[in-house]
Amino acid sequence: MNNKEPVKFHLNSKVVSGAVGYRSGSSLSIPVNFTFQHIQMRSGREKPLCVYWNKTVWSNQGCNVSWYNDSQIVCSCTHLSSFAILMSLPHREDCVLTVITHVGLSLSLLCLFLAALTFLLCRAIQGTSTFLHLQLCLCLFVANLLFLFGIKQTQLKIVCSIIAGGLHYLYLAAFTWMFLEGLHLFLTVRNLKVANYTSASRFKKKFMCPFGYGIPAVIVAVSAATSSQHYGTQYHCWLKIEKGVIWSFIGPVFVITLINLFFYLTTLWILRERLSSLNKEVSTIQNTRSLTIKALAQLFILGCSWSLGFFLIDSIDEPTRSVIAYTFTIINSLQGVYIFLVHCVLSRQVQEEYKKCFKRNKKRTETDTYMLAVSTSHSRMLEK
């Protein structure tokens, strides 16, 4: 959440000046590094900031923290001036939101792992839909894992930048596969209305992979090439808001969310018409109702709930913003759980495969137990 209290800074190094010629603010083609010793040992919650004296105020424009520990810091600056180190306490984070995020993502990681195993090992269910589910699971699994263990690794700027770039790519890839999921669901349900399967059959794996993984790669490559210095913030390994680089993530997410919302609403409308026209066909109605339940769950699987994040702006009042933040965190951190429930637990075909697997394992266990008992009995007879 946004902290409205002003951030307090204190000077924690000697002031060092550097100049070339007669101008202290000359721009450099190659950044220069300064190593500062802290006057006081850095406490655990304090964050260092490399700054220079800009006429009347300290500014960090053109200066970045390259590395630091409790006793010293290395600053990299693209100009020369009078430099120093300011220490600040980081913004206070909501501990409850942090716990919800970690618990939700941990549950999602478990469910995504089980879902991916199901899609890989159950040959009877493999097809275009399963392929789409598997790719989405893989992207979300790696993204959530990297988020849990890497989002706070801000000590080394280069490592933090790589983590931020990885998260940028993985979440964009996940949203791209969400878009393909939405498109495939829309075409499948549309076939209920037009009574043919030509549209859904046009989905080809050789075209999906370049689209699902290639489009995000192009976006991240262009963004990193033009704004690499904006990957990694002072407190999190994510995109900086400055210079609008965050829109290289928000823009595609916003477009995909709108399109998937359109697919979702259109799907519900088609299924509503289908239900009203099949009152006498019980089996068909049951299948259509199953599709309806899945279509409702797709609201979260397709990432439409991420639209709540667009309301987390400073212009709204704090109580409303807190409610949206909690809702956003709870719903989206459990996205992997929804995927496992809908595509595995609530799928009849997958349930049958689970039962067959359980019966095979049970039979194998009983056979092994019987063979062990016979072997033991035979050994005892030989001993006698």
265-319 pLDDT, tens digit per residue, is 888 787 777 666 655 444 444 555 555 566 667 778 888 888 887 776 554 666 7
Per-residue pLDDT tens over the stretch 37-49: 888 877 666 778 8
- Who contacts 74 (Cβ-Cβ below 8 Å, separation ≥6)? 33, 34, 35, 36, 65, 66, 67, 68
Q: According to the model, what pLDDT value does residue 20 have?
A: 66
The pLDDT-based confidence of 204 (bands split at 50, 70, 90) is: low
H or E element that contains 27: strand 27-37
pLDDT band for position 373 (cuts 50, 70, 90): low
CATH hierarchy code of domain 9-88:
2.60.220.50
Tell me the CATH number for domain 95-346: 1.20.1070.10
Q: Of 291 and 248, which is predicted with more confidence?
A: 248
Q: CATH 2.60.220.50 occupies which residues in the chain?
A: 9-88
Express each pLDDT in 164-185 by its tens digit: 999 999 999 999 999 998 888 8
Per-residue pLDDT, 223: 92
Cα-Cα-Cα-Cα dihedral sign, residues 169, 175, 177, 183: negative
By mean pLDDT, which of 53-57, 192-196, 325-329, 338-342 is the weakest? 192-196
User: For residue 192, is pLDDT > 70?
Assistant: no
pTM: 0.70
Amino acid at 269: W
| pLDDT of 124 higher than 60 | yes
Phi and psi angles of residue 191, each rounded to the nearest 5 degrees, phi first: -65, -25
Residue written as tokens 């790696």?
A: 142
Please give the Cα distance from 296 to 314 (Å, whole number): 31
Report the candidate in 26, 10, 278, 306 with the shortest Cα–Cα distance to residue 140. 306
The residues with which 36 forms a beta bridge, in sequence order, are 73
Of the candidates 34, 38, 83, 43, the residue with the CA atom closest to the CA atom of residue 60:
83
pLDDT of residue 207: 83
What confidence tier does 154 reach under pLDDT thresholds 50, 70, 90?
Answer: confident
Amino acid sitting at position 24: S
pLDDT at residue 369 above 80?
Answer: no
The whole-number average pLDDT for the span 151-162 is 90
Provide the token pair at 154. 């801000």
Contacts of the segment 143-151: beta carbons below 8 A, 24+ positions apart: 143/167, 143/170, 143/171, 143/174, 144/105, 144/108, 144/109, 144/112, 144/336, 145/109, 146/170, 147/105, 148/102, 148/105, 148/106, 148/109, 150/237, 151/236, 151/237, 151/238
Single-letter amino acid, residue 197 = Y
pLDDT score of 347: 82
Pair 219, 245: CB distance under 8 Å? no
**What secondary structure does DSSP assign to 30-65, as a single string?**
EEEEEEEE-SSPPPTT-EEEEEEEETTEEE-TTEEE
For residue 265, give the amino acid letter.
L
Which pLDDT belongs to residue 237? 92
What are the backbone angles phi and psi of residue 341, rounded to the nearest 5°?
-65, -50
CB 14 within 8 A of CB 39: yes
CATH 1.20.1070.10 domain span(s) along the chain:
95-346
Place of tokens 């046009």: 202
- Are 52 and 26 in contact, with CB atoms under 8 Å apart? no
Residue partners of 220: CB distance under 8 A and separation at least 6: 165, 168, 169, 172, 248
- pLDDT-based confidence at 2, cuts 50/70/90? very low
Q: Which one has a higher pLDDT value, 2 or 306?
A: 306
Pick from 73, 97, 77, 231: which is nearest to 153 by CA?
231
pLDDT above 90 coverage of the chain, percent: 27
Check pLDDT > 90 for residue 145. yes
More confident residue, 198 or 112: 112
